[in-house]
Amino acid sequence: MDLKAQAAAAALEYVQSGMMIGLGTGSTTSYFVDLLGEKLKQGELKDIHGVPTSEKTASRARALKIPLISLDEVSELDLVVDGADEVDPQLNLIKGLGRALLREKIVESHTSHFIVVVDDSKLVPKLGTKGPLPVEIVPYAAKAHIRWLNSLGCKAELWLETDGTPVTTDNGNYLAKCWFENGIPDAYALAEKLAWRAGIVEHGLFLGMASLVIVASPNGIRKLEAKR
């Protein structure tokens, strides 16, 4: 079984009938959604309702006949399962390369049980060492936002489709990619700067949010619990 599928299968062990579950976005989470749909089809789980973090996930869940609800209908989710682009030793995350970071962060803020599923290639000593930090920005004055992001010690660029047009999120916003040569020196300080800047809608730093990270490797499954 693919490592991502193994991590997803391990997360499914935490799902019980009657739960309201946040459904993440990305390649690893798609395995989880598929497995959840199969469990419902077989009758092994019942009365499950999902809150999708993207239109892509919503479409996949509907095809599998997973009942969906909105966050407007529920105050707290029993658990959320999602992937990550990077995971540091404190279980802080970079997320958003699946283009859904804003909705993911909103959904994942509505649970005390956020389960992250990854393969071991996503583990890093410091965030920003392997890939870019995605940042969602408003289309208005996009070049100005990119220019400001470049003042933060990174190489920022507008994320473009293969045809040269800006990548657009489900929310109608653009995305920037911010590359840090030696990783992000202080993720919490950077998150605070980004949060206060007008025109920056949201960022891919998910700090202190994960309660459990399930890591699949050729040597098996490891479960890393947050020390909070």
3-state DSSP call for residue 21?
strand
Q: Are 156 and 102 in contact (CB under 8 A)?
A: no
Q: Strand 174-179 relative to strand 114-119: parallel, antiparallel, unpaired?
A: unpaired
CA neighbours closer than 13 Å in the CB half-sphere of residue 14: 22
Q: How far is CA 103 from CA 56, 122, 173, 202, 228, in A?
A: 12, 21, 12, 10, 24
Three-class DSSP labels, 24-84: CCCHHHHHHHHHHHHHHHHCCCCCCEEEECCHHHHHHHHHCCCCECCHHHCCCCCEEEECC
User: First-to-last CA distance in the chain?
Assistant: 32
Q: Is 104 among the catalytic positions?
A: yes
Residue tagged active-site, from 38, 44, 104, 225: 104
Q: Are 117 and 4 in contact (CB under 8 A)?
A: yes
Angle at 29 between CA 27 and CA 31, to 5 degrees: 80
The alpha carbon of 147 is separated from its chain's Cα centroid by a whole number of angstroms, namely 26
Tokens 């996930």, residue located: 57
So which residues are the catalytic ones?
A: 104
